[in-house]
Chains A and B, each alone.
Chain A
Amino acid sequence: MNLLHLMGVNTGVTTQIKERRTRLYRVAYSWCHDRTLADDLAQEALTRGLSHLHQLRDPAQLDSWLFKILHNCWRDCLRCQKDFQDIEEMEDYLHAHDDTPEDINSRSQVVDRVRAAIALLPMGQRQVLTLVDLEEFSYNQVADILAIPVGTVMSRLCRGRQALKQTLIELAPVAKSNAVLRMVK
């Protein structure tokens, strides 16, 4: 229970925004797999959403509207990043972890594998898949959010799942066998 709520302050909107922030963050993270960037994207989407709230025609469509904004933010971000991919910085990021060894150890390997597999998907498939699976949007909503036809949503989703299946289910035993020690002389 929220203290402010008990005091009679109208926290409905605030609570809704907080909830949506977490959801936006989750999807943004599944797209970019970078916590700082995901946080920025969620924040930017909320900021744009709040400042253009008057443009929202149907309040029931708030969710898909916000995710549409998130998609736009992500596209803007990709556009900006295109010319400035600094390989050295990427290396730094890849090798610098905030997590302690205990964290890494205790974290389920499954989660890592899932994230790695999703990160391998082309961006279009990744977006469709995460919007459908994480946010449970209908195909029509996803088509609206990403501004693509429903048929494209279905085909991307299908191809994305096939690829994931390859990585996560069918290749799993093979991946295991790779770990066998080999003699090195």
Chain B
Amino acid sequence: MKSEISNEQLSAFVDDELDTPEKDGLFSLLGSDPKLAQQVCELRTLKELVRHGYTQLPGMNSKSHWAKKFHAPQSLVAGVVLVLGLSLGWVGHDWSQPQPVTQVVHDISHPLDAGALRPVSLSGVTEDMHKIVLHVDSADPAKFKTLLDDVDFLTQHQAALGQPVQVEVVASSYGLNLLRTDVTPYAARVRALVDQHPNVVFVACNQTMQRLNKEGANVKLLPHTRVAPTATEEVVNRLQSGWTYIKV
């Protein structure tokens, strides 16, 4: 009876390569033939031994260790995401809340503190085309019109694409006229832009305001305009956060 079963068949049985009737036959034989069962057992042991022999391999090259480092446990990933979210929220909070002028004045009263003279570097900053800071420092109404047209186009075009942009318009020097209630030719347009697009922010340069106030002009800004200590600082901060700078 045993002669019917070749070693090759036994191997195939161990590797699960036999079809059901063949397997049936072998199983019934195994029950009655202890020697055959012993052979199958040895083959299985051999199979396991071969696998065991190559479970732990002498290390692959350093690349794989390097790659392993990028596999973080789930908790760590969650932690990183949480921190990212918190910091984004904090930054967003700063943007959306117009800062009281008095506080800014207090800040600017020490213009030569260490922060004002910090070295600036943009190395390692990757440009984000969906965050745009537009800078205007000229009182030319044509420039104002171009600027507002651009902002209009940007917001509408990107919203249609489903990739909303964040736009910040920084006005300094003569460009501040855009945001002054008494001289701006585009009060209604600016207001409409801010109302329609929460992602559009207008920022005035406090240094310019101080200068104008000293010269006797009573500077009143359009509502919802944020005040930054200086236009340069604002632009540099944005650039360092990866924003794209466009001078109008």
A138 CB–B CB distance under 8 Å: yes
A36 smallest CB distance to B (angstroms) = 8
B70 contacts A164, CB within 8 Å? no
A39 contacts B61, CB within 8 Å? yes
Assembly CA distance A114 to B50 (angstroms)? 6
A45 CB–B CB distance under 8 Å: no
A139 contacts B15, CB within 8 Å? yes
Assembly CA distance A64 to B52 (angstroms)? 22
A1 CB–B CB distance under 8 Å: yes
Given A1-B73, A6-B77, A138-B17: A161 and B11 interface contact (C-beta under 8 Å): yes
* Complex interface: chain A residues within 8 A of B47 (CB): 133
B49 contacts A161, CB within 8 Å? no
B204 smallest CB distance to A (angstroms) = 36
A30 CB–B CB distance under 8 Å: yes
B contact face: mostly helix, strand, loop, or mixed: helix
Assembly CA distance A114 to B80 (angstroms)? 45
Query: In chain A, residues 1-51, which have Cβ atoms closer than 8 Å to a Cβ of chain B?
Result: 1-4, 6, 18, 21-22, 25-26, 29-30, 35, 39
A169 contacts B70, CB within 8 Å? no
B46 contacts A161, CB within 8 Å? yes
B58 smallest CB distance to A (angstroms) = 4
A157 CB–B CB distance under 8 Å: yes
B39: nearest residue on chain A (CB-CB)?
Answer: A165
Interface 1/0 per residue, B5-47 and A, CB below 8 Å:
0111001100101000000000000000000000000110111
A40 smallest CB distance to B (angstroms) = 9
A130 CB–B CB distance under 8 Å: yes
* Complex interface: chain B residues within 8 A of A133 (CB): 47, 50-51
B163 CB–A CB distance under 8 Å: no
Given A129-B50, A162-B7, A169-B45: A3 and B60 interface contact (C-beta under 8 Å): no
Interface 1/0 per residue, A110-145 and B, CB below 8 Å:
110011001000000000011011100011000000
Interface 1/0 per residue, B50-75 and A, CB below 8 Å:
11111011111100100100111110
Assembly CA distance A21 to B52 (angstroms)? 19
A3 contacts B54, CB within 8 Å? no
Query: In chain A, residues 58-84, which have Cβ atoms closer than 8 Å to a Cβ of chain B?
Result: none
A158 contacts B8, CB within 8 Å? yes
B83 CB–A CB distance under 8 Å: no
B86 CB–A CB distance under 8 Å: no
Assembly CA distance A29 to B54 (angstroms)? 8
Assembly CA distance A4 to B70 (angstroms)? 8
B53 contacts A118, CB within 8 Å? yes
A155 contacts B72, CB within 8 Å? no
* Complex interface: chain B residues within 8 A of A98 (CB): 58
B59: nearest residue on chain A (CB-CB)?
Answer: A35
A154 contacts B42, CB within 8 Å? no
* Complex interface: chain B residues within 8 A of A4 (CB): 70
27 examples of A-B residue contacts, CB within 8 angstroms: A1-B74, A1-B77, A2-B70, A3-B71, A4-B70, A6-B81, A18-B64, A22-B64, A29-B58, A35-B58, A35-B59, A39-B60, A110-B49, A110-B52, A114-B49, A114-B52, A114-B54, A133-B47, A133-B50, A154-B8, A154-B11, A154-B12, A157-B15, A158-B6, A161-B7, A164-B50, A165-B46
List the 5 shortest-distance A-B pairs measured between CB atoms, nearest first: A114-B53, A133-B50, A35-B58, A158-B8, A154-B8
Q: Given known contacts A3-B72, A39-B61, A161-B43, what 4 new A-B pairs fall within 8 Å (CB)?
A: A114-B52, A132-B15, A139-B12, A139-B15
